[in-house]
Structure 1
């Protein structure tokens, strides 16, 4: 199944938010796993590259791992600045 526009936009925002929060892919995966959504660093990498988004539960877990609402993920890949895709929620060190 091909990832659509919203999935690509979400992937870009996740890819921008992770380094902005000073997290490695392994650290983000560990946060998701601690939230009862087992994820590996490979899954994070594939998600950031728009190669994999299993379902909305993945997105909810990734947003929660950032301390953000999943509603702050962009709805399209046409976001002007992916680094600001999660403006009111990404918290460093959450």
Structure 2
């Protein structure tokens, strides 16, 4: 399945938010896992590289791990 425009925006936003906070992919995966959504570094990498879809559960967990709202990961930066 191809990743659409919303998925592409989310992938970019996740990477941008992660690097802005100084988190490695491993740290983001560990934070999501600690919040109850098991995630590996491979999952984070594939989402950011647009090799894997980011489902709603992933999006919510990643947003919580980054301390942002899921909506912030779906919209273009202003």
User: Please, what TM-score do these two structures have when normalized by structure 1?
Assistant: 0.76
What is the RMSD of the two structures over their aligned residues, measured on CA atoms?
A: 1.5
In structure 1, stretches of 5+ residues that fail to align are 80-84, 88-94
Query: Higher helix proportion, which one?
Result: 2
User: Displacement of 1:74 after TM fit?
Assistant: 2.7
Map 1:15-94 onto structure 2 (within 5 A). Answer: 15-75=15-75, 79=76, 85=77
Larger radius of gyration: 1
**Residue aligning to 1:2:** 2
Q: SS at 2:36's partner residue?
A: coil
